[in-house]
Structures are given as structure tokens and as C-alpha cells.
Amino acid sequence: MTHQPAIPTLTAADPQIAGIVEDEARRQAEKIRLIASENYVSQAVLEATGTVLTNKYSEGYAGKRYYEGQQFIDPLEELAIERAKAVFGVDHANVQPYSGSPANLAAYMAVVKPGDTVLGMGLPAGGHLTHGASVSATGKWFNAVHYGVRKETGRIDFDQVRDLAKEHRPKLIIAGGTAIPRTIDFPAFAEIAREVGAVLVADIAHIAGLIAGGAHPSPVGHAQIITTTTHKTLRGPRGAMILSDAEHAKAVDKAVFPGLQGGPHNHTTAAIAVALGEASKPEFRDYAHAIVANAKALGDALTARGFDLVSGGTDNHLLLVDLTSKQIGGKPAAKALDKAGIELNFNAVPFDPRKPFDPSGIRLGTAAITTRGLTPEHQPQIAEWMDRTIAAAASEDEAALDKIAGEVRDLLTAYPIPGYRA
């Protein structure tokens, strides 16, 4: 068993850490990874993250740095920016945010001041912590108001968005979330933002790869500022970007540096550029559409087995399953599934009567299994394993869970991952 690229020097220098890396690589190869925010990056992306670029400090932007020796970093960052602009069709891109949460804070900093009102999706409805949740800096420093979904449909309630916008006059409206199984209607958000004079920020962290690959409508032309992680469906390294129209370019750049950050992580910038190069290829369009096809097939297979899907299905990579009808909580289900080789997370469902740390649902995504080549034909088998696992969890049948984990491993040996060679 070996991590790819191989890590012989690390193994010799620090076998303890190398051992953990090898164990994690094998774990990622042996499990059906359905965590909706995760993926497998290519070996080229992995290699870029492990380079000497990590040694270099580059505070500032190309041509305006605060340290010398930027002969190669400037063109690197400019290349990443040009690729981001081309893939998403935007005027401006900032590739320096360390991750999605700081990118969102930078977007706020670009347009609002502490105490100003922002309107975002509530956490229980599928919003992200950084959309103004009370425990987040974005909820503590701004006056955050929250919209949700309709109980009957599980879809965003645009009447509520408009009513809240008119009542509270937010300076910023944020569209997007972490548990939205349906297409986001960016034009509808833009219309409401225009009506109240708010800046629309689209947080496409989950769906960036689908947008890049033409499998989800783009917010470009509707949202003035777009934030995204680079490591979810976009399949790059852990990192983030802020895309914007020309009008907000300066404010975005100033918010990232010097507003919030010091030196950019140049090894990450290189890996983002590599991932964007991959995302610009025709194969990536196929990948994005295959993610959606797999999610739809998995949703159909789960529905056929009596699982209850929030909103009744999916348009994207993500499924939110309410387990109430299966008489098990999301957390014990997720723990049993992990033992059975199926990795996902427990998640609140809209209007969840249970507590956030012990909610009613689970969240699934198909980005990672699509990368390793699973197809719609495999989805009924995954649903069958999930059904058996939940039955086994109810009877605390550990042997049944082990048996399923073995079956999962057997299937996956035919679908190797980048990053590990058995």
C-alpha cells in the first residue's frame, strides 16, 4: 500500500506521521465517500500542493508585493486568476482566501460594516455558519436575518426572502448553502436584491464544479460577488476564491489583503490553477453531469427503498434524507454507515424537531464516488447497503456491518482513487 505520490522521505524521517497518511489514503480508497463537501483531487493537484512554493512569502498582489523574489509567484498567481476568470466568465478573481469561511468574511468586509444588516439562509434550513449564524463572527458582528425553505416543498421560500428584504433592508443578501439539494434561482435572488438596493453575494462552495461544468446555472450576471471553496465539486485543493464584477474588484482585493489575511498560500494557488486547468477541459463537463446523474440515480434508489428525501429529490450533487420514517436518528445512522464502509454526515433537516447535534437526517453527495468512476448502475447497490445497514443498526448487528464493509471494499477495488495505489 502506498500513498501517491509516494512519500519515502517522510516515511524515513517521521514514520509516525507517514503511517497516519498511509492509513488515511487506504481508508479513502476502501470507503464509499458520500460526504457532500468532499472529493478526490487528481495526483497533479496533490503534487502541486507539496512543492517548494510553500516556502515563499508574497503579501500583496502581482506587481505590488511587500517582499522581494516574486519573479515566479507573480506569474503563477496571474495564471490562476486568468484561469478562474475564464472558467467562470467573470471580470475579476481573487485566489488568495485561505478557505471558504474567510472568503465569506472578506465578501462581507468588501460591502458592509459591523452592525449592518445581512440576509442569509438559516443554518437549520441549509445555510452555512458564515451566512450569519449566531455562533459565527458573521452573526456576532452583523445584524443577520434569515430566510428558509417552504415546509411543503423543501425549497427556498422566495416570498419570505422578499418580505424579509423589504422589512429589514439588508445591505447584503447571500444566496447558497451547505444542504440545498435543488437548483438555486440566482435571478430570483438578484431581483429581490435590486428591489432593496442590496449587493447579492452567491456562495457557490458546494456547486462550483457543477457550474464550471455546465450542470448548474451560473450566478454570473446576477450576483456582484461570488465566493467559493475550491475543494468540493470543483475538485481542487483546500482553498477558496472570490469572483466579482469589475465594480467590486478593488473592495474584494482590499478585504482579502490587507483586510483579513497576510501572505497567500502559494502552493495552494498553484494547485488551484491546476484544478482550474482540469475544470476547463471537456472531460470536466462530463464529470459535472455524471455527478448529477449519480445523485439522481441514488435518490431514486433510496426513494424506492422508502427513504424520505427532503424536497423529494435532487437537481445537483446533494441529497438530504429525513430518517424519521426509518425510526433512526441521523447520528446513529451515520455511525453505523461508517462502520459499514459508507461515509457521510448526520445533518439537520428543515423544521427538524431534534437537536442540531442529534438531528433527524443525513446528507449525501456524489462528487467523490463519481471521480472514482461509479455510475448510476451502482446506485441501487449503495441504497441496498444503506438499507441493510440501518436495519443492522437497529438490531446492533456488528457482524452484518462488517459484512457490508467487506462487500463495499470488494466493489471498490475495481475503482482506484488518485492518491493511493493498493
Number of neighbouring beta carbons within 10 Å of residue 419: 18
Give me 329's grid cell: 436518528
Catalytic residue among 2, 11, 47, 57: 57
CB closer to ligand PLP out of 106 and 290: 106
Is residue 99 close enough to count as binding ligand PLP by CB under 6 A?
A: yes
Question: What is the smallest separation between the CB atom of 100 and ligand PLP, expressed in angstroms?
Answer: 2
Pairing of strands 240-244, 92-94: antiparallel
Q: Which stretch binds ligand PLP (CB under 6 A): 47-55, 163-171, 202-210, 296-304?
A: 202-210
Determine if residue 127 is labeled as part of a ligand binding site: yes
Identify whether 203 is a catalytic site residue. Answer: yes
Judge contact between 92 and 245, C-beta under 8 A: yes
Identify whether 229 is a catalytic site residue. Answer: yes
Is residue 230 close enough to count as binding ligand PLP by CB under 6 A?
A: no
Judge contact between 341 and 30, C-beta under 8 A: yes
Determine if residue 69 is labeled as part of a ligand binding site: no
Give me 192's grid cell: 429581490
Phi, psi of 343 (to 5 degrees): -100, 125
Helices (H), 258-329: 266-279, 282-304
Is residue 206 close enough to count as binding ligand PLP by CB under 6 A?
A: yes
Sign of the dihedral defined by the CA atoms of residues 93, 97, 99, 105, in that order: negative
Pairing of strands 199-203, 225-229: parallel
CB closer to ligand PLP out of 102 and 277: 102
CB closer to ligand PLP out of 78 and 185: 185
Give me 203's grid cell: 456562495
DSSP 366: -
Determine if residue 320 is labeled as part of a ligand binding site: no
DSSP 114: T
Identify whether 59 is a catalytic site residue. Answer: yes
Judge contact between 420 and 26, C-beta under 8 A: yes
Q: Which stretch binds ligand PLP (CB under 6 A): 25-33, 97-105, 107-115, 371-379?
A: 97-105
Is residue 316 close enough to count as binding ligand PLP by CB under 6 A?
A: no
Binds ligand PLP (CB under 6 A): choice among 132, 148, 170, 177? 177
Catalytic residue among 85, 238, 285, 305: 238
Binds ligand PLP (CB under 6 A): choice among 130, 138, 218, 360? 130
Query: Nearest-CB residue to ligand PLP?
Result: 100
Determine if residue 164 is labeled as part of a ligand binding site: no
DSSP assignment string, 173-236: EEE--SS--S---HHHHHHHHHHHTPEEEEE-TTTHHHHHTTSS---BTTBSEEEEESSSTT--
Is residue 176 close enough to count as binding ligand PLP by CB under 6 A?
A: yes
Judge contact between 48 and 271, C-beta under 8 A: yes
Number of neighbouring beta carbons within 10 Å of residue 349: 26
Q: Which stretch binds ligand PLP (CB under 6 A): 25-33, 48-56, 95-103, 248-256?
A: 95-103
Identify whether 238 is a catalytic site residue. Answer: yes
- At 260 the three-state DSSP class reads helix
DSSP 147: E
Give me 281's grid cell: 477541459
Is residue 203 close enough to count as binding ligand PLP by CB under 6 A?
A: yes
**Taking CB under 6 A as the criterion, which residues in 34-53 touch ligand PLP?**
37
Is residue 363 close enough to count as binding ligand PLP by CB under 6 A?
A: no
Question: What is the smallest separation between the CB atom of 129 and ligand PLP, expressed in angstroms?
Answer: 8
Binds ligand PLP (CB under 6 A): choice among 60, 100, 209, 359? 100
* Positions marked active-site: 57, 59, 203, 229, 232, 238
Q: Which residues are annotated as a binding site?
A: 123, 127-129
Contact residues for ligand PLP, defined by CB under 6 A: 37, 99-101, 104, 128, 130, 176-178, 203, 205-206, 229
Q: Which residues are annotated as a binding site for (6S)-5,6,7,8-tetrahydrofolate?
A: 123, 127-129
